[in-house]
Amino acid sequence: MHATNQGEGAAMRVLETPDGRYIVVHGRLWRRHRPDLEPTQRDRLVRDLMDARRAVRAAKRSSDEAALVRARAAVDAAKHGLGERGPVWWTDGAPDLNRRMIANTPYAAWYTALPAALRAEHERR
């Protein structure tokens, strides 16, 4: 587990699975970015993702369907580049458990063994 800063002075703790493949958000697994990405490449893809998400928001606000389709495609492209979507980036044949509730995965025992206060930070509020 490691902490990252999110916004003005707020620290958000990010809980990673022991193998580093997923983070836990509200009790659900979300695939992490590929660890083999060069920092500059990762930073560029994250910037692209944030720009695309802002474009999705703007397209929704303006009810521009064509712009929304383009923006969502840009989000998808950035997420594929990061390894958060598409083929898994690990090579041991383990299945993709992205978006699954952690209680219904092989990580359940690990998660249950964590201190209750730590688990509470990462479960649905």
Give the amino acid at 95: P
Question: What does the pLDDT profile of the chain (125 residues) look like in tens digits?
Answer: 443 434 444 455 789 999 999 999 999 999 999 999 999 999 999 999 999 999 999 999 999 999 999 999 999 999 999 999 999 999 999 999 999 999 999 999 999 999 988 888 877 65
pLDDT tens column, 33-67:
999 999 999 999 999 999 999 999 999 999 999 99
Strand ranges (DSSP E) for the chain? 2-5, 11-16, 22-25, 28-31
Which residues lie closer than 8 Å to 106 by C-beta, 6 or more apart? 97
Mean pLDDT for the chain overall: 90
Question: Which pLDDT belongs to residue 124?
Answer: 62
* Domain edges within the chain: 1-32+90-125, 37-83
CA nearest neighbour of 17 among 115, 124, 109: 109
